[in-house]
Structure 1
Amino acid sequence: MKSILDRKRATLYAWIGLVFLLLWLFSDLANNPDTFGERAVNNIWRVAYVVVLNYVLFEFTLARASRKRIFSSLFLLVAHIMLYSWGLYAWRFIGIQLGAYTALTTFSSAEAGATKQMEFSVMSIFFFGILRHIYDYIQLKHAAQQLRIEKQEAELNYLKSQTNPHFLFNTLNNIYSLARDKSDLAPESILRLSKILRFMLYEAGGSFVAIEQELKIISDYLALEQLRYDESLRVNFNHDVEDMKQALPPLLLMPLVENAFKHGVSETRNQPFVDIHLSVNKRQLTFIVKNSTEATLEERQAKENIGLSNLRRQLELLYTEYSLSVQQGDYVFTATLKINLASHV
């Protein structure tokens, strides 16, 4: 049950009442400038009454009306009609007695006076009802939009919670391989891992990082991967970025780099390679990752791993203009990501 002391709703009706009063004052000023002062005070007195009555009507009487309570609902509606007519006429009489209302019109009978007051009340009902509906619609639309944003943020955080451990798991596997082989490169790989972890803990938790930070973490990851392979692995990483301070969601590009090693280079026995190119010009980002594979076009089935699937969903939540395409050739796999950075939602 709504509390009769709902301050937010009461404030809404007070503002609607103020607008309703201003409209009447404007009408009186245009049509009856000689008696504008008296009419202004009269309307303030009447509007104060209908504000309270409309609040009760819309927030309680109509809200509780139902078929199960048909008799009580009808009784309350009839009571409101009486309050809007005879009640407002009585309120006018009280104002006259208190000196707060000036009787500018003389009625032939009390019934005529009540009927005249009902005209004022009906206009107020329509006015309050329309503005109340508009306000509630805007609030409902805003709440739905906020709920959608919160849902998308929750899903995006969930995708990140999947991607980051996935990224970390692959990195730890690299170090494990070096440690198992008792490689002298294991200490250096641990040092590089600590840099990656520092980025994940202190930078990747936010919504954006500068592109230069994303490039640095990619470089560290490439260096860490290269420690696992001999000189037969060829890695080419180049970029053309007009503004290194441009914002980019952290680790957004990393799944494509990971995919090149985990599902490409690691399965290639002869002349493995990874070619990576990033360009960002006029807010248009293009990221191309090409890597060697052991499978031919006929042998490899088009099946995306969790990294690429999560990346696609993150792009859906983050941008309105983007494309992610993958192409499997004979012993070569190419992933191309294009994003209009200005289309961030």
Structure 2
Amino acid sequence: MSREAHNKLIKFYLYTGLGFILLYSFGEFFEYRETIVRRVINSIFLVSYLTALHYMLFEQILPLFRWPCKNNQRPFFFLFVIILFYTFGLYGWRQLWIQLGVYIDYTPNLSFLKGVVIHAQFSIATIIFFAIVRNVYNNIQLREKYHKLRIEKKEAELNYLKSQTNPHFLFNTLNNIYSLARDKSELAPESILRLSKILRFMLYEAGGVSIAIGDELKIITDYIALEKLRYDDSLLVTLNTDIENSKQPLPPLLLIPLVENAFKHGASETRNDPFVDINLNVKQMQLLFTVKNSVEDTTPVQELKENIGLSNLRKQLALLYNDYDLSVGQDKSVFASTLRINLASNV
């Protein structure tokens, strides 16, 4: 057990002991109002002793009975010893402070055996109280640990998906630059410059949990400008936005796969009148992102086989939001992707 966890456990027993004193004193208040202060002091001495015993019982002795138990005699011996401390020991602890003049004895005529029995009953009551509180505490700790593990698992899965998506995105972009360089195009230097801008964004701004949706839009704009370098004026690209709050947080690079898909599998494979139409609407925590692109009329309409970008996007959405919808489909010469997200449903 780490030092931090041990200190946390010590605090739990101290707070539980304090809670028992308050609860016990509250019950005594209605019967012994005149002497309640002195009785509370008495309870502090008794419960402080029992709290130390409870820590030993629950944290040191009872765990020895867990299977497999290599030495069966040892845990039973310790259990017997602590029972003596709970009975005769508690009565002796009381007598010690009575002799020192700190503990006030309100039952001076109590016999030894009867005193031991009464204090054993008091020990049992505190054991039951501590056991209940400890069980509740352990359940809370387990739920917190489970929740933490779920968050860590989710972050690991998201990082894994990003580690797949980002290289895939860069690979396609480098292919575009390669085609310009192979043709000795004068636009190759500009394309490299725009790629470096996108890389800078991915390295220094896209590593966090979220970014402003305005920044996400900037990277989309830069990517569109980079892609347009490959085409002549025949490619028509439109980008329409209606954003209520440009600082609205959004997971970084969440929208780019749909834009990339439109260029790579749409505009680049269309011979006549290629186009890409992008619309982003964000109002009242509702995001609607629609991307349409041209496809060849001769392309048969068939069941869509999603690429890495779209497949990873679906997985990321499932990890990030409870309320979303991503639909893709082809209608004759138009391929459309529609993403709807309730941004308030962030997991």
TM-score by length of 2: 0.93
- In the other structure, the counterpart of 1:41 is 41
- In the other structure, the counterpart of 1:23 is 23
Q: Distance in 2 between matches of 1:151 and 1:188?
A: 40
Aligned residues: 344
Change (3 A) 1:6 1:192: closer
- In the other structure, the counterpart of 1:215 is 217
Please list the CA deviations of residues 146-197 of structure 1 after superposition, one character each: whole Å capped at 9, or x if unmatched. Answer: 1111111121112112212211111111111111111122222222222212
Q: Distance in 2 between matches of 1:108 and 1:254?
A: 82
Q: Distance in 1 between matches of 2:317 and 2:252?
A: 12
- In the other structure, the counterpart of 1:117 is 119
Range moving further from structure 2, 40-49 or 276-285: 40-49
The 5-angstrom pairing of residues 220-239 of structure 1 reads 220-239=222-241
Give secondary structure in 1 for the equivalent of 2:232.
Answer: coil
Q: Distance in 2 between matches of 1:242 and 1:261?
A: 27
1:99 and 2:111 aligned: no
Range moving further from structure 2, 22-31 or 308-317: 22-31
Give secondary structure in 2 for the equivalent of 1:33.
Answer: coil
The 5-angstrom pairing of residues 129-168 of structure 1 reads 129-168=131-170
Q: Distance in 2 between matches of 1:146 and 1:221?
A: 36
Q: Distance in 1 between matches of 2:101 and 2:206?
A: 70
- In the other structure, the counterpart of 1:81 is 83
Aligned residue type for 1:206 = G
8 Å CA contact 1:285–1:340 kept in 2: the answer is yes
Q: How far apart are residue 303 of structure 1 and its match?
A: 1.0
Identify which of 174, 177, 191 aligns with 2:176.
Answer: 174
1:13 and 2:13 aligned: yes
Range moving further from structure 2, 167-176 or 251-260: 167-176
Q: Distance in 1 between matches of 2:274 and 2:230?
A: 12
Change (3 A) 1:249 1:91: same
- In the other structure, the counterpart of 1:251 is 253
8 Å CA contact 1:297–1:329 kept in 2: the answer is no
1:50 and 2:33 aligned: no
Q: Distance in 1 between matches of 2:118 and 2:177?
A: 89
Change (3 A) 1:204 1:2: closer
Aligned residue type for 2:179 = S
Q: How far apart are residue 255 of structure 1 and its match?
A: 0.2
Q: Distance in 2 between matches of 1:225 and 1:172?
A: 11
Q: How far apart are residue 114 of structure 1 and its match?
A: 0.7
Aligned residue type for 1:98 = L
- In the other structure, the counterpart of 2:304 is 302
Q: Distance in 1 between matches of 2:119 and 2:125?
A: 10
Aligned residue type for 2:34 = D
Q: Distance in 2 between matches of 1:150 and 1:331?
A: 43
Q: How far apart are residue 108 of structure 1 and its match?
A: 4.9
8 Å CA contact 1:265–1:291 kept in 2: the answer is yes
Change (3 A) 1:230 1:108: closer
8 Å CA contact 1:242–1:281 kept in 2: the answer is yes
Q: Distance in 2 between matches of 1:72 and 1:108?
A: 35
8 Å CA contact 1:297–1:328 kept in 2: the answer is no
Q: How far apart are residue 310 of structure 1 and its match?
A: 0.7
Q: Distance in 1 between matches of 2:244 and 2:38?
A: 70
8 Å CA contact 1:321–1:343 kept in 2: the answer is yes
Give secondary structure in 1 for the equivalent of 2:34.
Answer: helix
Change (3 A) 1:87 1:296: farther
- In the other structure, the counterpart of 1:335 is 337
Change (3 A) 1:103 1:268: same
Q: Distance in 2 between matches of 1:304 and 1:316?
A: 16
Instruction: In structure 1, list runs of 5 or more residues that go unmatched.
Output: none
Instruction: In structure 2, list runs of 5 or more residues that go unmatched.
Output: none
What is the root-mean-square deviation in Å for CA atoms of aligned residues?
Answer: 2.1
Q: Distance in 1 between matches of 2:2 and 2:286?
A: 52
Identity %: 58
Aligned residue type for 1:272 = P
